[in-house]
């Protein structure tokens, strides 16, 4: 098979958007009934999974079957794991402070404002960021070195994200750790192992889409946008602003990488780290 099926990929964009917004609309209705819009974070991973599955069905006969299956499974494993983790983490909690802050600015009906400013926005981001998932499944070239490199990067990212989430959940489960800052395991190498893992997942999926230069061009915006969101946008920046007042956080920042993992620094004049 030769040539990139641009018409097929273009035809896929609308169903992919439909899949993403269907998940967001479903969760919006459920969140409205329950009175907490933090459920949209559960929808994030599920919406990407829906896009991957819809694209897998529609790309049959266009892209390489092995790549189609690899990308769909990789996206679904990442998306379902993330959704399950966020659902468990939020069980029994009220509204997320981030969404309270957003909805506090509502000029009128809070529910409609939430739909516009949270669900529609996140649905649009899913559609844009999922471009490698879509383009990869339409790439006709057989899998090659870039595909395997993408799998390795994706797997490393999933490891950082899943292990980081697990370590943090275990730490928070101990009542004695209330108001203390997690600085163990992967969290001693980077202040955001889960965000760094997310970063690698999307660069890995992008590499899987690079079976052709057309796929790379069509999807480069995705990992770039995700990187900006994680490092400069709603990820790292907002979380660190929220954590900045906790005892010991300034010392943690001084010795621990802000994003890319590295061994922790030993503060000058301190032989042993103090309690946090």
d(C-alpha 60, C-alpha 72), whole Å: 12
Q: Classify residue 109 as exposed, middle or buried by CB count within 10 Å of its CB (0-12, 13-18, 19+).
A: exposed
Residues 6 or more apart whose CB falls under 8 angstroms from that of 11 comprise 58
Tens digits of residue pLDDT in 52-70: 999 999 999 999 999 999 9
- How high is the pLDDT of residue 21? 97
Flag the least confident range among 31-40, 90-99, 199-208: 90-99
Q: Which two tokens stand for residue 135?
A: 């383009």
pLDDT of 94-106, one tens digit each?
A: 877 778 877 888 8
CB contact at 8 A, 229 and 235: yes
Would you give the distance in Å from CA 49 to the centre of its chain?
A: 12
> Which position has the token pair 């409205």?
32
Domain ranges of the chain: 6-255
- Find the angle CA(57)-CA(59)-CA(60) to the nearest 5 degrees: 75
Average pLDDT over residues 21-37: 94
- Asked whether the predicted pLDDT for residue 92 surpasses 90, the reply is no
Residue 275 pLDDT greater than 60, yes or no = no
Which one has a higher pLDDT value, 194 or 270? 194
Rounded Cα–Cα distance for residues 139 and 187 (Å): 37
Model pLDDT, residue 47: 98
Query: Mean of the pLDDT values across residues 187-209?
Result: 96
DSSP string, 2-29: -S--HHHHHHHHHHHHHHHHHHHHHHHH
63: region left, alpha or beta (phi > 0 left; psi from -120 to 50 alpha): beta
Per-residue pLDDT tens over the stretch 117-142: 999 999 999 999 999 999 999 999 99
In this structure, how many other beta carbons lie within 10 angstroms of the beta carbon of residue 185? 15
State what percent of residues in the chain have pLDDT above 90: 70
């Amino acid at each position: 098979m030769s040539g990139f099926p641009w018409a097929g990929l273009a035809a896929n964009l609308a169903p992919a958007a439909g899949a993403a917004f269907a998940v967001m609309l479903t969760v919006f209705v459920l969140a409205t009934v329950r009175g907490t819009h933090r459920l949209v974070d559960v929808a994030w991973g599920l919406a990407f999974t829906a896009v991957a599955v819809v694209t897998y069905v529609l790309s049959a006969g266009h892209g390489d079957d092995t790549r189609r299956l690899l990308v769909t499974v990789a996206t679904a494993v990442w998306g379902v794991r993330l959704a399950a983790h966020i659902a468990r983490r939020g069980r029994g909690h009220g509204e997320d402070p981030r969404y309270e802050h957003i909805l506090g600015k509502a000029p009128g009906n809070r529910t409609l404002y939430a739909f516009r400013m949270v669900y529609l926005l996140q649905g649009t981001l899913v559609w844009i960021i999922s471009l490698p998932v879509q383009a990869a499944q339409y790439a006709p070239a057989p899998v090659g070195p870039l595909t395997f490199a993408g799998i390795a990067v994706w797997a490393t990212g999933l490891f950082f994200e899943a292990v980081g989430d697990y370590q943090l959940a275990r730490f928070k489960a101990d009542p004695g750790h209330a108001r203390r800052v997690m600085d163990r395991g992967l969290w001693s190498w980077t202040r955001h192992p889960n965000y760094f893992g997310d970063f690698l997942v999307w660069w890995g999926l992008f590499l899987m889409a690079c079976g052709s230069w057309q796929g790379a061009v069509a999807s480069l915006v995705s990992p770039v946008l995700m990187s900006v969101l994680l490092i400069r946008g709603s990820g790292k920046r907002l979380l660190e602003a929220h954590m900045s007042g906790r005892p010991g956080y300034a010392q943690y920042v001084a010795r621990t990488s802000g994003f890319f993992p590295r061994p922790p620094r030993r503060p000058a004049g301190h032989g042993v780290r103090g309690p946090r």
